[in-house]
Amino acid sequence: MIKLFKVKEKQRAENAKGPTNVKKQSPGELRLHKDIGELNLPKGCNIEFPNGKDELMNFEVTIRPDEGYYLGGTFLFTFQVSPVYPHEPPKVKCKAKVYHPNIDLEGNVCLNILREDWKPVLNINTVIYGLYHLFTQPNYEDPLNHEAADVLRDNPRLFESNVKRAMAGGYVGSVVFTRCV
User: Which residues participate in catalysis according to the annotation?
Assistant: 110
Nearest to 127 by CA among 70, 52, 63: 63
Q: How far apart are CA 164 and CA 179, in angstroms?
A: 10
Query: Contact, 62 vs 94, CB < 8 A?
Result: no
Handedness of CA 118, 120, 121, 123 (dihedral sign): positive
